[in-house]
Amino acid sequence: MRLLFLGDVVGRSGRDVVIEHLPGLIRRYKLDFVVINGENSAGGFGITEAICDDLLAAGADAVTLGNHSWDQREALVFIERQPRLLRPLNYPAGTPGRGAGLYKARSGAEVLVINAMGRIFMPELDCPFRAIDKELDACPLGSGADVILVDFHAEATSEKEALGLYLDGRVSCVVGTHTHVPTGDDRVLPGGTAYMSDAGMCGDYNSVLGMVAEEPINRFLTRIPKGRMEPSLGEGTLSGLAVEIDPKTGLALNAKALRMGGVLRPSAIEFWEA
């Protein structure tokens, strides 16, 4: 089974590169399932219903969020009627929406997608480790779901690595989001779980994390905001993680970072090219 995860979509540049390349990637690689983190897709802050619909129309099977989930207030409402949009699982009880969803892949497999948020240098939420444990108790790999992907939206690489090893062998893939820079540690862990500390962003890398550089630089220099952060509108790069999954076990056979377009060095997925 072929799964693709795309990192944080930032602003128009991120949306454009996803909409341009994703349909072709699905056809070229015969992708079975696609997950996109969309929490920065609306001008860098949150997501709107129209943008969520565009990402789904481009080929996403599920869209995940993070600490900017509610920056667009309409998300509090439309997330209730959009089962393919997930917010972090470990938000307090009573938060609108859902943190996990079970979906049918094009191959027919049942795919459980879990969205969780870290706690180091992030808003204080419930423990993501224990929250994911509860979800896996209810829907374990093999008997409840054929494939399980976890989007861990977190700042600290230590927390991400700890969760990856904690879940190794129990889920198909743990991929980090939030820091907007792709890491070079894409691999399959000893127990068979695909892992990458951060998938990077889909957006303009000639920027500061997808934002026009002048205002972030000013804030570092002066500690005084001059204006609003605005998404950079240069050519976007598509960044994510490609995973080949054994349909018999639900564990990963191969995992590799995917980059297309923009300014980063492109990476091909050799195990899908044959």
Q: How many domains does the chain have?
A: 1
pLDDT one-digit tens code per residue, 142-152: 999 999 999 99
Q: If pLDDT is split at 50, 70 and 90, which confidence band does 11 have?
A: very high
Residues 244-252, mean pLDDT to the nearest whole number:
98
Residues 94-101, mean pLDDT to the nearest whole number:
98
Question: Is residue 68's pLDDT more than 90?
Answer: yes
pLDDT one-digit tens code per residue, 159-203: 999 999 999 999 999 999 999 999 999 999 999 999 999 999 999
Residues 104-131, mean pLDDT to the nearest whole number:
97
Q: If pLDDT is split at 50, 70 and 90, which confidence band does 268 have?
A: confident
Please give the model's pTM, rounded to 2 decimal places.
0.97
Which amino acids are annotated catalytic?
Answer: 68
CATH of the domain at 125: 3.60.21.10
76 lies in which domain range?
Answer: 2-273
Question: DSSP assignment of the chain, as one string?
Answer: -EEEEE--BBHHHHHHHHHHHHHHHHHHHT-SEEEEE-TBTTTTS---HHHHHHHHHHT-SEEE--TTTTSSTTHHHHGGG-TTEE--TTSPTT-SS-SEEEEE-TTS-EEEEEEEE--TTS---S-HHHHHHHHHHHS-BTTTBSEEEEEEE-S-HHHHHHHHHHHBTTBSEEEEESS-S--S--EE-TTS-EEES----BB-SSSBTTB-THHHHHHHHHS---S---B--S--BEEEEEEEE-TTT--EEEEEEEEESTTSPPB--HHHH-
Three-state helix/strand/coil letters over 155-217 = CCHHHHHHHHHHHECCECEEEEECCCCCCCCCEECCCCCEEECCCCCEECCCCECCECCHHHH
Average pLDDT across the chain, whole number: 97
- 266 contacts: CB under 8 Å, gap ≥ 6: 259, 260
Question: Is residue 274's pLDDT more than 70?
Answer: no
- 24 contacts: CB under 8 Å, gap ≥ 6: none
Amino acid at 23: P
